[in-house]
Amino acid sequence: MAVENRAARAAVPAYANRVMILACVAAFVLKLPPERFAFVPAYFFGTVDLAGPLPTLALWRGLFGHPLIHADPAHLVSNMLALWLLGDAVENALGHGRYLALFLAGTIVGALSEGWLAVDRMAPLIGASGAICALMGAFLWVRPRARIWALPFLRLPVLWIVGAFAALNVAMVLFPPPADSPLAEVGWGAHAGGILAGLSLTPLIARLGR
């Protein structure tokens, strides 16, 4: 596979990924207001009472800014650990520009997928999960034979782990949890859209600039 062969030839230091991690941490420490940077699907798709898309600063700020915002320390730490593990490998294989292109694509596709599938389009979306899931899909291209620690004593093929995670997200999209469940607060649509973006776009992005 071309992407895997490039990864084997030369590894690029993951400067861009580290910058994204620092930006997310800085946004959390500085307490950037979620109401300003969250992506609100209704601004793009509209509702019964609201036309869309609305060409306003709030729409674009939310579409591109929501990956920086995290709800609490657990949300931030879990996302940054995933971003560190996945993003470094993808950037090592693809290079800085292609990594950023994929991160941006996952951000946009994840947000629009969540908005399109959302039951409540006024519910704001925050967090870098869409972009991280795109990197997860890309990881299958650049490290297809990798094994990941699923438990302290068990390593599983990355294909199994990503496949199970993707299946869980599809199930949650098809059968949404009750509105009062904590699971309803998870951006399942963003995850599914991000994985799909990573799987489908990585071979195309990898050829850019060849």
**126-156: pLDDT as tens digits:** 999 999 999 999 999 999 888 877 667 778 8
The per-residue pLDDT for 120 is 81
Stronger pLDDT, 58 or 138, i.e. the higher one? 138
Q: Model's pTM, two decimal places?
A: 0.87
| Strand, helix or coil for residue 177 | coil
Q: How far apart are CA 128 and CA 24, in angstroms?
A: 8
Residue 94 has pLDDT above 70, yes or no: yes
pLDDT band (50, 70, 90) for residue 1: very low
Q: For 160-189, what is each residue's pLDDT tens digit?
A: 989 999 999 999 988 888 878 888 888 999
Summarize the confidence of residues 104-120 as an average pLDDT: 91
